[in-house]
Amino acid sequence: MIHYVDTHAHICEDVYDNDYDEMIQRTVDSHVDRIMIITLHEDELTRAKEIKRSNPAKYQIATGIFPTDVKDLKDGDWQRFRQCASDPMVDVIGEIGLDYYWEKDKEVQALEREWFVRQIELARELNKPIAVHSREAMQDTFDILKEHHWKGLLHCFPGTKEMVREFTKLGYYIAIGGALTFKNARHSVEVVSTMDERYLLSETDCPYMSPVPYRGKRNEPSYIPYIVQKMAEVKGVDVEYMANVIDDNWTRFLEQCK
């Protein structure tokens, strides 16, 4: 029996409002048996908790303050976030990190770094792993994750195979999504083909980043098999083996804080 994992899914976003039940049924049909729901707002977290209650083995929950949201934080937001993050139903702190693609202002970038570190330290205090978002900020991300070393994964990994080696040496897992299936995916292909399979994870980042043949359309967790199929091809293994390795990796990832 094959089991797939989606380690990064924004399924509480309203683009699924009209066909939520059908979308979830498709995950059942395609054997996407575990899904980590990413929540970036309190109302998303409330919804994610409802979903998790319906099937605790299937759903994991991550909650975090997204890098480009830090400039809008108000007094009291940190206390509220701490409370959300401490909820026993929250498994992972994320997605947190640095985004210099959407944020060019140097002062705000410095603020992103400050909030990234703050949330890593909270994750350590709560003994929960982190899910890291990094865009056009690879060196700063690496420096922070080295200095404030903690358990976690890098989502939608945009780096080179050399950088992957540096991150996995520190114990970080690497989640790869639909971009791997794109025609110009040379970097991701190199990353997947050379990296240690024990750190590889699959993700959709839905509703964004749909894999081929759905590129440009709304993404959803049931498309994970297209990504794992491509990973298996790149690594020269069969898809069942690849899915099993990722499933084991996800179990190990979640258990490292238990």
* Window contacting Ni ion (CB under 5 A); options: 83-91, 202-210, 221-229, 247-255: 202-210
In the complex with Ni ion, the residue whose CB is nearer, 44 or 205, is 205
In the complex with Ni ion, the residue whose CB is nearer, 222 or 232, is 222
* Window contacting Ni ion (CB under 5 A); options: 80-88, 113-121, 185-193, 203-211: 203-211
* Window contacting Ni ion (CB under 5 A); options: 57-65, 185-193, 198-206, 237-245: 198-206
State the nearest-atom distance from the C-beta of 238 to Ni ion, in Å.
Answer: 29
In the complex with Ni ion, the residue whose CB is nearer, 155 or 232, is 155
Q: Which residues of 230-239 are buried (b: 16+ CB within 10 A; e: fewer)?
A: bbbbbbeeeb
In the complex with Ni ion, the residue whose CB is nearer, 112 or 205, is 205
In the complex with Ni ion, the residue whose CB is nearer, 138 or 175, is 175
* Window contacting Ni ion (CB under 5 A); options: 15-23, 72-80, 177-185, 200-208: 200-208
- Residue numbers 219-248 binding Ni ion by CB under 5 A: none
State the nearest-atom distance from the C-beta of 241 to Ni ion, in Å.
Answer: 28
CA dist 80 → 74, 120, 131, 149 (Å): 11, 16, 20, 25
Site string for Ni ion, 151-190 (x = CB under 5 A): ----------------------------------------
101-104 CB contacts, 8 Å cutoff, 24+ apart = 101/135, 101/136, 102/68, 102/135, 103/67, 103/68, 103/71
State the nearest-atom distance from the C-beta of 203 to Ni ion, in Å.
Answer: 8
Q: ∠ CA(257), CA(150), CA(137), 5° rounding? A: 135
* Window contacting Ni ion (CB under 5 A); options: 51-59, 83-91, 197-205, 231-239: 197-205
Residue 67: asked if its preceding bond is cis (omega within 30°), the reply is no
State the nearest-atom distance from the C-beta of 236 to Ni ion, in Å.
Answer: 29
# binding residues, Ni ion (CB under 5 A): 1
Closest of 121, 60, 92 to residue 257, by C-alpha: 92
In the complex with Ni ion, the residue whose CB is nearer, 119 or 232, is 119
In the complex with Ni ion, the residue whose CB is nearer, 205 or 220, is 205
State the nearest-atom distance from the C-beta of 132 to Ni ion, in Å.
Answer: 11
Which residues of this chain interact with Ni ion, rule CB under 5 A?
A: 205
